[in-house]
Every structure is written in structure tokens, then in C-alpha cells.
């Protein structure tokens, strides 16, 4: 029997970049998106970030590390600009984390924390077939 659906939609796809302003300019020029997007600092995650609306409810997130020793910093040092994670919307983040932990998933965050997209938590890629997954509860 399949598990009950926890994910409601794709919230965003994140790209890690060494230069967020240059990347944002690229998406503005090539795809015409992100004109009124503000870059914000997220000190707890040691990144600069922005969310670019794509018009269908999904967003593109750009993240630039502000500390090379963080996970995002190491990721950019190894891979350069690249896809970083997939973010899925859930209705009840604490419940989703509890259910996933009970199923044996490795949680990066055992408790929700505040992120650029809302209340967030990450699942470790070693338990999600190599994909870093972020769960987002809006509001």
C-alpha cells in the first residue's frame, strides 16, 4: 500500500550559484523573469537568496553561499552553478517530518525552521535517492 500523499505541489527548484546577481541577470535576460525580485540574506543558512515567480505557482530559487564552509558553499566549490534541491509544498510540516522519520528517512532538520520560502526542513539525499529535498509549509 502506498503512503498518503504529503506533497501538494512543487514550490521551487533551487540553483546554487557563486554569483547570485549575475545569475539573476541571466534569468532576466533569457527568460524575462525576476524583474522585481529582491535578493535577501538568510543569515541562519549563510546564503543570499531570491525566489523568482514563474507564473504557474512554481518558483526558481537562486542561492549564493556567504560562507564557503557550509553545505551550499562546498556544493558550489565542487560543482559551480548547478541544480541544488527540489522543494515540495506540504500542508503540515511537523506531521510530514514525523511520518518520514517513522519511515526511516534521514532528516537534515528534525524541526521546521524559517527559510526564504516559509517554514522549511530538508531530507538528506542519502535517503531520497540522491536528491536533496526541501519541504515547505507556507503561511
Place of cell 507556507: 138
The answer to whether 105 and 123 have CB atoms below 8 angstroms apart is yes
What's the whole-model pTM score? 0.92
Domain extent listing, the chain: 9-137
Query: Quick one: pLDDT at residue 61?
Result: 97
d(CA 22, CA 30): 12
- pLDDT of 14 reads 98
Contact 108, 85 (CB under 8 A): no
3-state helix, strand, coil in the chain (%, to 5): 25, 35, 40
Q: What pLDDT, on a 0 to 100 scale, did the predictor assign at position 6?
A: 84
CATH code of 9-137, in short, is: 3.10.180.10
Q: For the chain, 139 residues long, give each residue's pLDDT as a single digit of tens.
A: 466 678 999 999 999 999 999 999 999 999 888 788 999 999 999 999 999 998 888 999 999 999 999 999 999 999 999 999 999 999 999 999 999 999 999 999 999 999 999 999 999 999 999 999 999 999 7
Amino acid at each position: 500500500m502506498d503512503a498518503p500523499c504529503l506533497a501538494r505541489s512543487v514550490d521551487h527548484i533551487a540553483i546554487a550559484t557563486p554569483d547570485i546577481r549575475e545569475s539573476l541577470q541571466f534569468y532576466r535576460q533569457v527568460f524575462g523573469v525576476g524583474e522585481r525580485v529582491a535578493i535577501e540574506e538568510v543569515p541562519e543558512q549563510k546564503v543570499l537568496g531570491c525566489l523568482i515567480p514563474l507564473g504557474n505557482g512554481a518558483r526558481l530559487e537562486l542561492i549564493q553561499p556567504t560562507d564557503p564552509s557550509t553545505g551550499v558553499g562546498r556544493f558550489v566549490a565542487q560543482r559551480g552553478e548547478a541544480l541544488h534541491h527540489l522543494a515540495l509544498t506540504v500542508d503540515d510540516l511537523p506531521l510530514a517530518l514525523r511520518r518520514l522519520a517513522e519511515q526511516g528517512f534521514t532528516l537534515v532538520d528534525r524541526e521546521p525552521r524559517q527559510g526564504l520560502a516559509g517554514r522549511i526542513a530538508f531530507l538528506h539525499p542519502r535517503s531520497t535517492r540522491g536528491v536533496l529535498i526541501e519541504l515547505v509549509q507556507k503561511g
